[in-house]
Amino acid sequence: MFIPSEAEGLPSGLSLRLSLRVEDMAGHLRLKSCFPRVEWCPERATKWSESKGLMSDTIHVYILRCADGSYYVGLTEDLEGRENAHNNGRGSKYTFLRRPVQLVYSESYESLEKAIERERQLKRWSHAKKRALIVRDPARLKQLSKRRS
């Protein structure tokens, strides 16, 4: 079941999809579980950002180092404000329990879609690969990018 963002009061550019799993037990259908999933829709986000107007033409993809040594990847228009929000417990659930956090890396993009694409890429990277990017070690980054057959 697909619910457009306007119907549920979600920010424009996001859509809510409910996935229902049904299990057949002795001829009876039973609801097994219901997983709400918020999905990103770039076309809608572009329309939203054009209509609302972004405060800044620059979107930053950033990496924070948490107190436990783990990394958090996100995107924002205001790097300093976002780092402060994370440190004040208003950032994300992940960083809330891992404060204080420190901004260790950022990249700037003029396109929201490109920034989201890069954020998703970095979130899939291993801890070691993120560390190589942060310390700007291209040889190590290339080594970690090779497929392991």
pLDDT digit string, tens, across residues 62-83: 999 999 999 999 999 999 999 9
Structure tokens at 5: 């963002």
Report the topology of domain 56-145.
GIY-YIG endonuclease (3.40.1440)
Any residues with CB less than 8 A from the CB of 78 and at least 6 apart, and which?
Answer: 55, 56
Helix, strand or coil, per DSSP, at residue 42: helix
Residue 50 CA: distances (Å) to CA of 7, 57, 122, 135: 20, 11, 26, 35
| Choice among 8-22, 48-62, 64-78 with the minimum mean pLDDT | 8-22
For residue range 2-13, list pLDDT tens digits in order. 444 444 454 555
Where do the structural domains in the chain lie, given as residue ranges? Answer: 2-50, 56-145
Residues of the chain with pLDDT > 70: what percent? 62
